[in-house]
Amino acid sequence: PVQYQASDSMVYDAGHKKVYLYGNSNVKYQNMDITSERIYMNLDSNLVHATGAYKDSTSKKAEGTPVFKMGSDEYESDTMAFNFKTKKGLISNAYTKQQEGFMRSQLSKRDSSGVIYMQHGRYTTCDAPNPDFYIALSRAKVRPGKDVVFGPAYLVVADVPLPLAIPYGFFPFTKSYS
């Protein structure tokens, strides 16, 4: 069973088996939890779409953006789509913390085993919204709690890319030295 609630309003379209949640909305299914300002669910295809809401027409930042939790993993994003049955998802502008590092990406895909494939990402140990330094990743594969494997990357300091390219790399997420 899928549990869902909304603080403002909820519209159920019985003919098309769709649910629209407005306000501080929440959807729970097994160990998956999505919280967002607006959520749209298609009960036939088991798809959930979550987005934030613009409170003011002049503001450029959405409020109540989606927060996705599954087990110990937590991701913040601008928009997301997730399938309950296959446990696959598509996330835009994702943000997550892995051990002591912080990951951001423009586009991320999550497969059924929990592995995340990122495009145009950045990895840093600085928790500021605009970090002073980071490694810009063109592509990366994140196994939450285990490691990050990435393709072509380069170091960026104070928003200036350094001319040092890294063809591929690996960051382990362990609490002990190896």
Digit-coded pLDDT (tens) for 82-136: 998 898 999 999 888 877 788 899 999 999 888 989 999 998 988 888 899 999 9
Chain segment 14-27, per-residue pLDDT in tens: 999 999 999 999 99
Position 174 scores a pLDDT of 67
Average pLDDT over every residue of 69-79: 85
pTM for the model stands at 0.81
- d(CA 48, CA 39) in angstroms, rounded, equals 7
User: What are the C-alpha distances in Å from 106 to residues 7, 31, 71, 76, 136?
Assistant: 29, 25, 23, 12, 11
Confidence of residue 171 (pLDDT cuts 50, 70, 90): confident
DSSP label of 146: T
- d(CA 174, CA 39) in angstroms, rounded, equals 35
- d(CA 77, CA 96) in angstroms, rounded, equals 9
